Structure 1
Amino acid sequence: MDQVTNTTQPLSILYQDTELVAINKPHSLLVHRSMIASDASEFAVQLLRDQLGQRVYPAHRLDRKTAGVLLFALSESMNSIMQQQFMDGLVHKTYLAIVRGYTPDEQAIDYPLRKDDGNGGGAASRLGVLQDAFTHLKTLQRTEIALPFGKHPTSRYSLVELTPTTGRMHQLRKHMAHILHPIIGDRPHGCNKQNKLFKERFEMNTMLLHAQQLTFTHPITQEVITIKAPFQSEFERILGVLFGEASVPTVS
Structure 2
Amino acid sequence: MNGPLLFNPRFTVVGESADWIVVDKPAHLLCHPTNPDNPPTLLDGLRGLLAFELANGAALSIITRLDRDTSGLVLVAKNAHTARHFGKAMERGEFRKTYLAIVSGWPENDSWTVDAPILRKGEVAESPIWVKQLVHPAGKPCRTHFDVVERRTRTRPESEGPPLAFALVRCRPETGRMHQIRVHLAHSGHPVIGDKIYGPDETCYLDFIESGWTEDLEKRLLLDRHALHAHQLEVDDHAWTSPLPTDLGQFLWPETRGSAVQPT
How far residue 56 of structure 1 moved from its aligned partner, in angstroms, is 1.8
Please say if 1:154 is aligned against 2:150. no
Quote the Cα distance in structure 2 between the aligned partners of 1:126 and 1:140: 25
User: Which piece of structure 1 moves more, 123-132 or 52-61?
Assistant: 123-132
Query: For structure 2, which runs of at least 5 residues remain unmatched after alignment?
Result: 123-127, 205-214
Quote the Cα distance in structure 2 between the aligned partners of 1:126 and 1:135: 13
Please say if 1:4 is aligned against 2:9. no
Would you say the 8 A contact 1:105–1:138 is kept in 2?
yes
Please say if 1:250 is aligned against 2:250. no
Give the equivalent residue in structure 1 for 2:235: 216
User: Which piece of structure 1 moves more, 175-184 or 84-93?
Assistant: 84-93
Give the equivalent residue in structure 2 for 1:199: 218
How far residue 108 of structure 1 moved from its aligned partner, in angstroms, is 0.8
Which letter maps to 1:20? W
Would you say the 8 A contact 2:115–2:144 is kept in 1?
yes
Query: For structure 1, which runs of at least 5 residues remain unmatched after alignment?
Result: 218-223
Please say if 1:25 is aligned against 2:44. no
Give the equivalent residue in structure 2 for 1:112: 117
SS class of match (2:253): helix
Would you say the 8 A contact 1:3–1:205 is kept in 2?
no
Give the equivalent residue in structure 2 for 1:95: 99
Would you say the 8 A contact 2:8–2:27 is kept in 1?
no
- Alpha-carbon RMSD across the aligned residues, in angstroms, is 3.4
Quote the Cα distance in structure 2 between the aligned partners of 1:226 and 1:3: 34
Please say if 1:230 is aligned against 2:235. no
Would you say the 8 A contact 1:90–1:216 is kept in 2?
yes
Please say if 1:133 is aligned against 2:142. yes
What TM-score, normalized by structure 2, do the two folds share?
Answer: 0.78
Quote the Cα distance in structure 1 between the aligned partners of 2:146 and 2:135: 26
Name which of 89, 96, 116 aligns with 1:85: 89
User: Which piece of structure 1 moves more, 143-152 or 232-241?
Assistant: 143-152
Aligned residue pairs, count: 239
Give the equivalent residue in structure 1 for 2:47: 49
Quote the Cα distance in structure 2 between the aligned partners of 1:123 and 1:69: 23
Which letter maps to 1:250? Q
User: Which piece of structure 1 moves more, 56-65 or 134-143?
Assistant: 56-65
Which letter maps to 2:225? T
Quote the Cα distance in structure 2 between the aligned partners of 1:135 and 1:105: 14
Quote the Cα distance in structure 2 between the aligned partners of 1:209 and 1:25: 12
User: Which piece of structure 1 moves more, 203-212 or 161-170?
Assistant: 203-212
Show structure 1 runs of 4+ deviating over 6 A.
Answer: 122-128, 148-151, 195-198
Quote the Cα distance in structure 2 between the aligned partners of 1:180 and 1:189: 10
